Structure 1
Amino acid sequence: MTMEWSSWPRRHGRFVDVFTAILLCGLATYSSMLAQQNGETAGPIIVRSPSPAVFALSAVASLALLWRRQYPRTVLAVATGCGVVIGALGFEVSVLSAGAAMVAVYSLGLWVDPRTAKIATPIAAGILLIASYFHQLSPILTGGRITVVAGLLVAGALAEATRNRQNYLAALHARAELAERTREDEARQRVSEERVRIARELHDIVAHHMALAHAQASTAAYLLRSQPDQAQGMLDQLAGTTSAALRELKATVGLLRDDDSDAPLEPTPGLDQLPELLAAFERAGMVISLSVTGEPRPLSPGADLTAYRIVQEALTNVTKHAGNAAATVRLVYSRQLLTVSVVDDGPALPDHVRGETDSNITGYGLIGMNERAVSVGGQLHAGRRPDGGFEVTTELPLGPAPTPDTEDRTS
């Protein structure tokens, strides 16, 4: 209810202007009938009939207020001029007769730049103060004259306060709209990032297990004719590979299901599971060597998962593109960095398969590895080696600082 009443004048501005003009015209005409009396009970009394001249001047000033929004400077000049003429006709310039000038001062301060309003308000007050002396020269300062000047100054101050409040509310509204847009953009960005993360996880899981299952199936098919006992063991490993793939897929896809939020998920892989990962590739026929330099130190969960996934994807690429090439996995711990390198001795590959360089990383596998490294504050380099084979090297921070010292970078 309060909000409805406060917005009513804005919704019926023309009615308010007409009512204000009629009221001010009537008050100014009434003031022409008054005069001050002397004595202990001094005060205004009615001494004459209404003046047609004052009525005409007050009507002009009041009607001018109907255009106070479009031409506030002109309206103030007209209202002030009418007040001056009223004083020149011998009538007292009071709050009632100068009411139109006060409304014009308020309008000027509200709809014109504050600097103009601060200059025009005291000028109008000074002009009306001088005009008040046409009626009576002494005493110099009376209550009526002080009231006129104070009324004009208060009208200017009220206009400035109203303007500041309007600007404040407009700023709050703009800030709320900006915050709403920012929340929507942030929500869309988070959804996009989550989609990329899930797609990256699914790619790593599917690519790794499918490549490993393909290698195991091919080996089993080869051994089935000559060494059926070993072929049976390879088929058992193939079943374990597919089961592990299904478990990891269920754990990843289960994050998308609300009703599975309480279901137990597989633990997040990390470097502590690296021996099992290398053993799975070795059972598929790959020769892998592991070297660790420096004292192993714990990583953040994100960096730990990133290191594991990069090694997994790099070895999967070796399986898919380099055949039976041998691979070397190196972990180098320095003061602030963990450097992970996966190098194979396979032949040089076609440019459309493995032509990526440090400045041009393409292919979903390498793009995913690069995104993983950057997401935890690291960086990744991938490219062909001059003497054949391919190398993937990533540097991951061990501490919270995302930017390591140059002296801690290892090659």
Structure 2
Amino acid sequence: MCRQVFGFRLAMIALAAPAALLNAGPGLGVRLVGAAVVVTFMTSYVLFRDWERFGPLLLRHPTLLAADTLLASLLLVSAGPDTTLAYVSVCTPLLAGILYGWRGAAVFASAQSLILLLVHATLEGGSHIGPAERLLLPGICVITGAWGSTLRNLMLRFGTATQALAAVKARLAVTEAVGAERARLAREMHDSVAKTLHGVALAADGLAHLAGSADMDPARVRQQADLVSRAARRAAAESRELLADLRRESDPAHATDVLTELAARTADFTARTALPATYHRTGTDAGPPPLLPPAVARQLLTIATEAMENAHRHAAATHVDVRAGVDGDLLRISVHDDGRGLPPDTTLEHLRRSGHFGLVGMVERATSVGARIDIGRGGHPRGTEILVELPLAAVTLTPPTTP
């Protein structure tokens, strides 16, 4: 706002400078008026162009505005109060109100009004000017001074409100970040370590039952003990993977081939659960598999793994069909089982309230990486299909070229 005031001053000084020079007395008078024109014009130009740099100097030293007022008064005496320089005098109380508050506005408005009255009184022919015309500009100076002080108060209050709003937004952002991190940790624990440890507990219960039976079969005991051992090692590996994921950022140098990893997880699922699961590479793109950042790949693989585990634990399925591939610019991953399917009235809110966070976690994971997820029967006559579609343009990493 102060820059705009100085821009207005520049225009008014430029318009009134010729009249001031023409009306100045020869010799010393012309030099003084010319110097005043140059100083006031350059001062206004500097403050207009670099207000952020020189504005604080004017704010700390009101005497600089007082000196500028005296130079402008010299021009006003030379050019006359009926020129555009009269409007320059109106700018001074406005600036004083904005910069120094109501006290500065009162001082500079009074001084500028007194200067205008003296100019009217001392100019030749001033007696022919009516009282209303003489008091018009001084009255405007008082009004602009009050207006400047009011604007200052409004801007200070707006600045205080803006700072308070920024502080509230910062606190909300921190709270949201903490909540998102807690939700992410809950998903990771639910989808990896918690389920694996539950499997360890079930296997250990089975081992205890076999060991305590009268017709204990050593081969069955060894098989169950091996299952407990493998499940415990898997839980330890998942814990290490989770801790490593919490400590590292996505590193393009460690990109993940999602399709190959998904095929390996499908085969591991069949070996662990004895539920037949087949993997098929689909899509129209027969090129090399896409390389994704570790964070994105982890979310997609966890969704697929969770879908297979749900088919084993809850769906009473006899077969799981996993399909993945690139179709155009989309990476599609589909996990379909031939189980009982979801109840018709199932909603995410109902699942969240009842404590079933598996499907809720899938949706949250897909949303976190910008993927779209569909949960339902799809085009199949029975069962459940989890379909994830991820646009590759924003996440695919370029494979490093070998020299």
Scaled by the length of structure 1, the TM-score of the pair is 0.53
Distance 1:215 1:27, change over 3 A: closer
Higher helix share: 2
Q: Distance in 2 between matches of 1:356 and 1:252?
A: 30
- Structure 1 residue 335 corresponds to structure 2 residue 335: no
Q: Which amino acid aligns with 1:181?
A: L
2:370 equivalent in structure 1 = 377
Mapped pair 1:278 → 2:266: yes
What's the secondary structure of 2:290's corresponding residue? Answer: coil
What amino acid is aligned across from residue 190 of structure 2 in structure 1?
V
Provide the C-alpha distance between the structure 2 equivalents of 1:351 and 1:212, rounded to a whole number of angstroms.
29
User: Does the residue aligned with 1:307 lie in a helix, a strand or coil?
Assistant: helix
Alignment-derived partner of residue 293 in structure 1: 282
1:105 is aligned to 2:153: no
Counterparts of 1:337 and 1:307 in 2: how far apart (Å)? 13
Distance (whole Å) between structure 2 residues aligned to residue 175 and residue 401 of structure 1: 40
- 1:248–1:184: structure 2 CA closer, same or farther, 3 Å change rule? farther
Equivalent position of 1:210 in the other structure = 194
Q: 2:392 aligns with which of 394, 398, 407?
A: 398
Deviation at 1:399, TM superposition (A): 1.6
Secondary structure in 1 matching 2:192: helix
Determine the structure 2 residue equivalent to 1:236. 229
Contact 2:101–2:152 (CA under 8 A) maintained in structure 1: no
Task: Work out which of the two has the higher radius of gyration on C-alpha atoms and give 1 or 2.
Answer: 1
Instruction: Determine the C-alpha separation between the residues in 1 that align with 2:270 and 2:108.
Output: 91
Match of 1:304 in 2: 297
- Aligned to 1:292, the other structure's residue is in SS state strand
TM-aligned CA distance change 1:172 to 1:183, over 3 Å:
same
Deviations 1:335-368 (A, max 9, x none): 111111111122245568xx349x9986532233
**Residues 327 and 344, structure 1, Cα contact 8 Å, conserved in 2:** yes
SS at match of 2:328: coil
Greater Cα shift, 16-25 or 284-293: 16-25
Q: Secondary structure at the match of 2:310?
A: helix
Is the contact between residue 9 and residue 16 of structure 1 (CA under 8 Å) also seen in structure 2?
Answer: no
Label 1:268 to 1:217 Cα distance change in 2 as closer, same or farther (>3 A): farther
Question: 2:101: which partner in 1?
Answer: 10
Tell me the secondary structure at the aligned position of residue 339 of structure 2.
coil
Are 2:332 and 2:387, in contact at CA under 8 Å, matched by a contact in 1? yes
**Consecutive unaligned residues in structure 2, runs of 5 or more:** 1-56, 63-95, 211-215, 397-403
Shift of 1:35: 9.5
Q: Please say if 1:248 is aligned against 2:236.
A: no
Mark the CA change 1:186 to 1:375 in structure 2 (over 3 Å): closer, same or farther: farther
Unaligned runs of 5+ in 1: 37-43, 45-86, 113-161, 256-260, 403-411
Relative to structure 1, the CA distance from residue 343 to residue 197 in structure 2 (aligned partners, 3 Å threshold; closer, same or farther) is farther
Cα contact 1:340–1:393 (8 A) shared by 2: yes
The secondary structure found in structure 1 opposite 2:376 is strand
Percent identical across equivalent pairs?
23
Q: 1:110 to 1:401 in 2, by over 3 A?
A: farther
Give the aligned length: 283
| Residues 16-35 of structure 1 mapped to structure 2, 5 A cutoff | 16=107, 27=118, 31=121
2:84 match = none
The answer for the alignment partner of 2:70 in structure 1 is: none
Alpha-carbon RMSD across the aligned residues, in angstroms, is 4.9
Q: Give the secondary-structure state (helix, strand or coil) at the position aligned to 2:280.
A: strand
